[in-house]
Structure 1
């Protein structure tokens, strides 16, 4: 069984690894064209999601509710990311 410290480490390590993908892409590829603002928004979204999932894991005791709420948090992150990237909902914050 994993300790709470190990779970927390994994919860925050996953966004850190995901964040490295655009950083390396921006360094080694001409296809990536992220500005500092793009990196800030990505960091806030990824680590905000990690914080919310960590909070859910610590506060909620029912395993089913933990999984359900964590899945909703991830879904909201993906929808927000897609809206900012390509504008699937047509908000003023939509990307190209």
Structure 2
């Protein structure tokens, strides 16, 4: 069984692991074209999400509520990411 500290480390290590994918893609492939600002936005989004999920994990007592709030946080992340990537809603937020 994982300790609280191990769970927290895992929650914050996951965004780092995810950010290695585009970093390696930038280094070894011409199809990836991430700039420093792209990485900064990704870091902000992923680590904010990790922080919020860790906060929910520590403060919400009921398991069902914890899972539901975490899913909502992940859905919001996915919507923001999709909007920034392709502008699915055509908002000024995405540069449209």
Deviation at 1:3, TM superposition (A): 1.3
* 1:31-70 alignment, distance < 5 Å: 31-70=31-70
* Aligned residue number for residue 6 of structure 1: 6
Task: Note the residue ranges of structure 2 that are not aligned, 5 or more in a row.
Answer: none
Q: RMSD value over aligned CA atoms? A: 1.3
- The number of aligned residues is 96
Deviation at 1:92, TM superposition (A): 1.2
CA contact (8 A) 1:49 1:74 kept: yes
* 1:14-29 alignment, distance < 5 Å: 14-29=14-29
Task: Note the residue ranges of structure 1 that are not aligned, 5 or more in a row.
Answer: none
In structure 2, distance between residues paired with 1:87 and 1:60: 33
TM-score (norm 1): 0.94
In structure 2, distance between residues paired with 1:81 and 1:37: 14
* Aligned residue number for residue 94 of structure 2: 94
In structure 1, distance between residues paired with 2:30 and 2:93: 24
| Poorly superposed stretches of 4+, deviation over 4 Å | none
